[in-house]
Structure 1
Amino acid sequence: MSSHMQRLKALREELHRQNLQGFFVPLTDEHMSEYVGAYAQRLAWLTGFEGSAGSAVVLEHGAAIFVDGRYTIQVREQTDPDIWSYGTPPRDNPVRWAASHLKSGDRVGYDPWLASSGWEKSTRLLLESSGIHLIAVESNPIDNIWQGRPLPSQAPVFIQPDNLAGCTSAKKRQDIAQWLEEIKADSLVLTALDSIAWIFNIRGRDVSCTPVALAFAFIHKDASADLFIDLSKIDEALKAHLGPDIRIHDRSDFAAALKNFSKKYVALDPEHSVMAISALLKAGNAQIIEVRDPVILKKAIKNATEIQGHRHAQLRDSTALTRFLYWLSQTAPKGSLTELSAAEKLLEFRKDTGALVDVSFETISAVGPHSAIPHYRVTEASNLPLKNNEIYLVDSGGQYQDGTTDVTRTVIIGTPTQEMKQRFTLVLKGHIALAQSVFPKGVCGAQLDSFARQYLWQAGLDYAHGTGHGVGAFLSVHEGPQRISPSGGAFSGGSEVLQSGMIISNEPGYYKTGAYGIRIENLLLVKPVKITNAEKECLGFETLNFAPIDRHLIDISLLSESDINWLDNYHADVRQRLSPFLSEEESTWLKEMTLPLAS
């Protein structure tokens, strides 16, 4: 019996002990995080699936795992089809699947520290219509059977200095206090780790790839705050940084403190806080005001210092990536590289900058059929050699104290087919169209998404992921609320109005299952655009990444004059910005790679 079969068997035995006929297994933590610490990797431990998004449902006589379009191939490679049924939201709904396999009177459990109140409400209504009971468990059944489960990280917290943050924590808290007065609330409960890191100007190492510390916080209308964090993480320097207006408590005291708001009005984000928090506030007779975490938008609109820091980080990171691309062009044709060794070399170039704190996500180093898996994760078991005449896609980024990076380049090793060139060029045209777009204030990401897809659509093609996501300032590489994505479906979320100072990715792609994949990604800064005689204030984008786009994959006949001008100007900018930091050999190669297309 496989280890995952044994774990599923043990879970079912634990469910039986708790008088449950089913259990929902999300991939999140008590902060509703996208990326979670090892202690919270319950879905991976149970199933073997190592993607960054998904959920499972375990019943007495069936089990299903649900992942979006990015992971439909990966989930089948990493999990046992004899154990799991597969679903793809939104077409397949985990709760409806559970309801269709349970009977009236059955009890299905969920962990209230891992589910939002919105999810709990909608799930309860759906299940109750079939006579099924949704039960909040007192102890997570997986935690009860997970032998050797890692402890939460105890890494020290460190300061994000004001000269990099661009604003003091006191000023940020004062802004929140003013907001609390406006909505007539006494306090705000903060649970999102990046919101807490941003408002206190602190960072941590508790979550892989994201510089945050495990903590909860209250911000009050007098601008004071309570921070709940493992006390072993705090030293005297950090206490001095936080100051006397921030009271520090052990993280374990947070649940009890939620009961101390009797008859107070407490602001709480229902989408970014778990059901257990709402329940404890209500148990303490607090009056909950459901409202979006105000830090989310403030954090997304970068100040001048954060923007300048981003520019420095992107230039540093672009130099490392370009040095890697040169090395790859010289080494890959020799036939000695693998996906893993290429990723390790790219990490080496980033470390050579002397400023790398961490990668911003696990590098997607994918060749041939693996490049057709948008969020492929290379392992020792899956590692493929880089072969001649195959496409290699590398999506990667770094965490630097002045900025977070994310960039994708797709290159050909050897000679591309005409189909590869045609599809790469269609993706490139969409990338250029979005990069060049100008739009009036008030436009949201969903209105721009089709700019990047239009040329693929004209060829009857598309891609199953959003076109752009927000990026933090030495914080999460996937930061809301802004997105460029369709208005409906699995990748919805593009309804947020784009505002000057936001940073967002531009990453259209194309994926031919079992053959190859293409993605071209740069980060964009939203900024004002002056237009003569314009009747509205307008915005546009500034491209922040600078690395060559593989000219060997371009079919020039498919490009318009505007496309060619954009790419030639971009490549000239790449050459001018990076050459001073490259060796003579690297500079010579970069010059050849960035010559005007007509050359």
Structure 2
Amino acid sequence: MAQFQFFDDTTSPSQGPAHIAKLRAELSRRGFDGFIVPRADEHQGEYVPKSAERLAWLTGFTGSAGTAVILKDTAALVVDGRYTVQAAEQVDTSVITPVQLAEMSVEDWIAANLPEGGTLAYDPWLHTSDGLKRLEKAVAKADGRLAPIDINLVDVIWIDRPAPPQALVRPHPLDYAGETAESKLERIREKMAEAKLDALVVSDPHNLAWAFNLRGGDVGHTPLPLGYAVLPREGRASLFFDPVKITNEAGAAVGDLAEFAPISSFQSALDALGQKGGKVRVDSATGAVALIRRIEAAGGTVDVGADPIALMKAVKNKAEIAGSHAAHLRDGVAVARFLGWLDGEAPKGQLTEIDAVEALEAFRIETGALKNISFPSISGAGPNAALPHYRVTASSNRRIESNQIFLIDSGAQYEDGTTDITRTIIVGEPTPEMKDRFTRVLQGHIAIARAVFPKGTTGAQIDAFARKPLWEAGLDFDHGTGHGIGSYLSVHEGPQRIAKTGTTPLEAGMMLSNEPGFYKQGDYGIRIENLILVEPRTIPGGDREMLGFETLTFTPIDLRLVEPAIMRADEIEWLNDYHAKVREKIGPHLDAETRAWLEDATRMIG
């Protein structure tokens, strides 16, 4: 049995028609023509508590991104390329139509389908200022209007909605944090002074947790305390949580830097902030429209922009980097033990996707340091591996069969670091096509790992490095190449990313994933993921400040899927060097049998 993840089917396509019918009845009763249901919670979080899983409850779709628009006679679920197949499988398509974001945005669908002069209701706690502006333009095209509501209409009809989470808030030790909250607040206030801000509303719980060196457990797999902070440029900060969540240790750790206040008093605190008449920063990425309107209604001036904490949090300090190295060594040993075990068991033909998840979690638990997994493991055999964000359930669970690819994307939460790793394994013999595609993905992975670039370069500028070998064969993948990583926080952390949308310049100390892939729908999927750290690089004779990547993850890459004939000599050299480091770092921590397996799995090629 897995300790940190479950395999139940939590939703069914059959729930959609009944729930949507109830919502339509509520719309009719209130005189609205439609309602918009985003996946986000009040903090615009990727991972949300059960009480905020409105989209899943309404439609049956459980992906981490998507938006439903329910009108009187039609409904759409707009999802990106990661969830095209999943959305079609999880919802009743006779009632709600899955729409690919690449083909039509939420706003375009609204403009095309909202009845002329219609009223579209929305919850102002679930939309940002920029998001609302796009909705306003869309509704205007239909000569309609947007109507904010005081209570979410899904909450009205969701009779057995779970209560909000109440996990305890605890201090994050300085040994791991590497900087006191007092020092962090001083740096944040310097940024506030530069921007001439009188106060900062911290709406992203990740930023709150980092700034005050606190951790919690309100959402699955991320040690996140859900709450808000108001940080004045001078004076004590206020932290808004449900009072039952505050431990004595958290109170002592925060000390005189801030006062804890009940979350029920947050809106009146926004009124007081507005009445002071100052300039208040609200985060453009996570700040709800409701926050902005409350402050403005009380007389304040809202400056919508980036929360300065996000970029500060992204650049890891020496203690966080040291912690990550330790976490990755520990995790690498656990994953190597798992892969050795898998190589022995999978050919017997009895293993399932769930068996693999449970075994890997058990190896991580044996480290004695595992706090949680960092996300539900993606364990896909054969055609399930072609779903980039597949989550195995009791009903979807496949046997890992011979001559098939098996992909496992998993991660761990240790108090000193967060990990995320994907390995693609062949059981039996690969086809020539599988080897070609795997090698092209590997070449893209190596291109990112070896990249050297001037300071100021963004992730968007190097994203193509990972795609070039695939493009040359007329292929591509529909997700970003890399996301930022938190330090015992979210496995997906911005603003840094390696993707077409990665506009934040990369800085030394940032951690990201390096995970190009290839997916052949209905057949197999490939992804190779290591975590990487941005670090300074010196180029002899160069006149620019340069950066590159240090690879943090050390676990074998399946050589049975590699086709050396299409690789360059320098790429083969990188792979051999990487595997030599794996043997050096991981080998001493393995038993004799697994060490022998490792020697073969990391043998030199070329």
Structure 1 and Structure 2 fold alike (TM over 0.5): yes
What is the Cα deviation at residue 85 of structure 1? 1.0
The Cα offsets for residues 425-468 of structure 1, whole Å up to 9 and x where unpaired, read as 00001101110111111111111011111010000000001001
The 3-state SS of whatever aligns with 2:475 is: coil
Aligned to 1:472: 486
Aligned to 1:316: 330
What is the Cα deviation at residue 289 of structure 1? 1.7
Does residue 108 of the first structure (1) align with residue 116 of the second (2)? no
Which of 499, 515, 518 in structure 1 is aligned with 2:523? Answer: 515
Aligned to 2:286: 272
| Number of equivalent positions | 592
Which of 12, 24, 48 in structure 1 is aligned with 2:24? Answer: 12
CA contact (8 A) 1:310 1:473 kept: yes
For 1:169, give the aligned amino acid.
A
Which of 51, 63, 67 in structure 2 is aligned with 1:55? Answer: 67
Aligned to 1:411: 425
Q: 2: CA distance between counterparts of 1:205 and 1:70? A: 27
What is the Cα deviation at residue 223 of structure 1? 5.6
Aligned to 2:447: 433
Structure 2 unaligned runs (5+)?
Answer: 1-12
The 3-state SS of whatever aligns with 2:228 is: strand
Does residue 286 of the first structure (1) align with residue 300 of the second (2)? yes
Q: 1: CA distance between counterparts of 2:134 and 2:18? A: 32
The 3-state SS of whatever aligns with 2:474 is: coil
The Cα offsets for residues 323-357 of structure 1, whole Å up to 9 and x where unpaired, read as 11011000111111111111111111111111111
The 3-state SS of whatever aligns with 1:260 is: helix
What is the Cα deviation at residue 2 of structure 1? 3.2
Q: 2: CA distance between counterparts of 1:367 and 1:2? A: 26
The Cα offsets for residues 478-536 of structure 1, whole Å up to 9 and x where unpaired, read as 101111112xxxxx2x1110100000110000000100000000011000011111111
Which of 233, 254, 259 in structure 2 is aligned with 1:242? Answer: 254
Once the two structures are superposed, the pairs formed by residues 148-227 of structure 1 within 5 Å of their partners are 148-222=160-234, 224-227=236-239
Which of 498, 507, 511 in structure 2 is aligned with 1:499? Answer: 507
CA contact (8 A) 1:174 1:223 kept: no
CA contact (8 A) 1:364 1:377 kept: yes
Aligned identity (percent) is: 46
Q: 2: CA distance between counterparts of 1:235 and 1:518? A: 44
The 3-state SS of whatever aligns with 1:259 is: helix
Q: 1: CA distance between counterparts of 2:425 and 2:137? A: 50
Q: 1: CA distance between counterparts of 2:235 and 2:550? A: 35
Does residue 398 of the first structure (1) align with residue 412 of the second (2)? yes
Q: 1: CA distance between counterparts of 2:428 and 2:160? A: 47
For 2:330, give the aligned amino acid.
R
CA contact (8 A) 2:111 2:141 kept: no
Aligned to 1:567: 575
TM-score of the pair, normalised by structure 1:
0.98
Q: 2: CA distance between counterparts of 1:289 and 1:231? A: 29
Which of 345, 349, 363 in structure 1 is aligned with 2:377? Answer: 363
The Cα offsets for residues 104-132 of structure 1, whole Å up to 9 and x where unpaired, read as 22111111010011111221122123211
CA contact (8 A) 2:530 2:552 kept: yes
CA contact (8 A) 1:176 1:219 kept: no
CA contact (8 A) 1:339 1:384 kept: yes
What is the Cα deviation at residue 18 of structure 1? 1.7
Aligned to 2:41: 29
Structure 1 unaligned runs (5+)?
Answer: 487-491
What is the Cα deviation at residue 102 of structure 1? 2.2
Aligned to 2:464: 450
Once the two structures are superposed, the pairs formed by residues 332-371 of structure 1 within 5 Å of their partners are 332-371=346-385
Q: 1: CA distance between counterparts of 2:115 and 2:600? A: 67
Q: 1: CA distance between counterparts of 2:494 and 2:553? A: 20
The Cα offsets for residues 82-121 of structure 1, whole Å up to 9 and x where unpaired, read as 1221211142112221222222221111110100111112
Q: 2: CA distance between counterparts of 1:453 and 1:511? A: 13
Aligned to 2:547: 539
The 3-state SS of whatever aligns with 1:574 is: helix
The 3-state SS of whatever aligns with 1:44 is: helix
The 3-state SS of whatever aligns with 1:214 is: coil
Q: 2: CA distance between counterparts of 1:254 and 1:4? A: 34
What is the Cα deviation at residue 270 of structure 1? 2.2
Q: 2: CA distance between counterparts of 1:25 and 1:541? A: 39
Once the two structures are superposed, the pairs formed by residues 64-103 of structure 1 within 5 Å of their partners are 64-103=76-115
Aligned to 2:132: 120
What is the Cα deviation at residue 422 of structure 1? 0.5
The 3-state SS of whatever aligns with 1:244 is: helix
For 2:420, give the aligned amino acid.
D
Q: 2: CA distance between counterparts of 1:179 and 1:588? A: 53
What is the aligned-residue RMSD (CA, Å)? 1.1
The Cα offsets for residues 554-595 of structure 1, whole Å up to 9 and x where unpaired, read as 111011110111000000000110111111110000001101
For 1:69, give the aligned amino acid.
G
The 3-state SS of whatever aligns with 2:470 is: helix
Aligned to 1:489: none
CA contact (8 A) 1:173 1:223 kept: no
Q: 2: CA distance between counterparts of 1:450 and 1:95? A: 28
Which 10-residue stretch deviates more, 201-210 or 234-243?
234-243
Distance 1:397 1:322, change over 3 A: same
For 1:78, give the aligned amino acid.
Q
Which 10-residue stretch deviates more, 101-110 or 187-196?
101-110
Q: 1: CA distance between counterparts of 2:197 and 2:96? A: 46
Does residue 525 of the first structure (1) align with residue 533 of the second (2)? yes
The Cα offsets for residues 108-157 of structure 1, whole Å up to 9 and x where unpaired, read as 11110100111112211221232111111111111011121111111111
For 2:199, give the aligned amino acid.
S
Which 10-residue stretch deviates more, 538-547 or 126-135?
126-135
Which 10-residue stretch deviates more, 230-239 or 188-197?
230-239
For 1:406, give the aligned amino acid.
D
Q: 2: CA distance between counterparts of 1:476 and 1:224? A: 27
CA contact (8 A) 1:99 1:132 kept: no
Distance 1:237 1:49, change over 3 A: same
For 1:450, give the aligned amino acid.
A
Which of 578, 591, 597 in structure 2 is aligned with 1:589? Answer: 597
What is the Cα deviation at residue 232 of structure 1? 0.7
The 3-state SS of whatever aligns with 2:284 is: coil
Structure 1 runs of 4+ aligned residues shifted over 4 Å read none
The 3-state SS of whatever aligns with 2:375 is: coil
The 3-state SS of whatever aligns with 1:103 is: coil
For 2:494, give the aligned amino acid.
G
